[in-house]
Amino acid sequence: MRHDNSTESQRVTAIRGLILYLGEKTEELIKDYQARDDRRRPQRPQQVWPVPYKRLDRRPDVDPYCQALFPFCPSGDPDGRMPVMRDSDLVSVFRLQTPVWEFRYGDVLGKFHIMHDAIGFGSAKTGRNFTMEWYELFQLGNCTFPHERAGVSAPFWCNQGAACFYDEIDDVHWKQNGSLEKIGEISGEMFNEMARWVQEDNETGVYYETWTVKSDAGANATTWFESYDCSQFVHRTYKKLLDMGADLSSQTPTSYTKIYLYSGEPLHLGDDSIFQQSSTRDLATDIKKFYHSFRSHQSVVEVIESLLEALEKMVLEKTFYFYYNSEYWKLPMKYPYIKINYEEIPLP
């Protein structure tokens, strides 16, 4: 112990002597050392908000575990192919909107402004009409929350969305509780170019995202994450048509359903490796416990209990575990926590 103290004393004396010899202030030397040390450390790229949606090189295969309650695009082409129009054709473009699951529940979800959007097309030369929409392969619940799968450590996601193109426009389906409005005309050549773009968009943008996450409900709020859903697909398509020179206009307000989460700046947690490392065992347990509240196939009593647990997590603990681009984020939730808006968004 005496030897250690002697060595330390000699070290301190040498450092003080060097400082005096150089004529430098201690504080300045420390600042210079810290600056050099910071430059040596790898710098994490500055976070961009909203986090850009990650596109893939190709659509991944569907795991057989993932099953839809209702089959995806039952009357459309299984590979999402679209007909080729004559370049000289005149094609009408229609804005379509109806309550989610209108075919099963009528206007029930429409009363809460939970709407589904699509686009219709009509060929002047052939008289044929078509509907194009983008929606979940395995219904909304599977795209919003994961499954608990035996033998799999991480939450298991059945989350894909895709474009569906099929013959006819079901006037009753769209008009009865929603809207069907002609918003413009394009040439057959423009339609064919749009169809090629849809194929590429459909192959690379595959993951459905229910939530839009913002810092608050004000006009100047920061958007942390954008949704990627049916209305976003419709807007991307409108923008593509306008970029090609189409003239689109609506005589009625173009309103869309947006489901918001409100939080402070999100904290990046990591990918599925969270559930495989001993150092993040507690975090992994907390994430799985959070998603357990939203598990499928619950009884009515279990659903009520689970909703209360979820509200406690979001409102009292102010925590929401959010999955985006195959990675997990922690959202420090803020009032009003969650909100469904039916808001006007003009044509691009």
Active-site residue set: 116, 230
d(CA 17, CA 344): 72
d(CA 34, CA 172): 70
Distances (CA, A) of 45 to 274, 313, 327, 328: 21, 31, 17, 18
CB 92 within 8 A of CB 121: yes
Sign of CA dihedral 242, 199, 62, 168: positive
DSSP of 24-89: --HHHHHHHHHHHHHHHSPPPPPPPSSPPPPP-SSPPPPPTT---SS-SSTTS-TT---PPPPTT-
Q: How many residues does the chain have?
A: 348
Q: Which tokens is 251 given?
A: 């005589």
CB 218 within 8 A of CB 335: no
Helix (H), strand (E) at residue 291: helix 281-292
DSSP of 248-288: E--SS--EEEEEEEEESS-EEEESGGGGG-GGGHHHHHHHH
**Position 310: which residue type?**
A
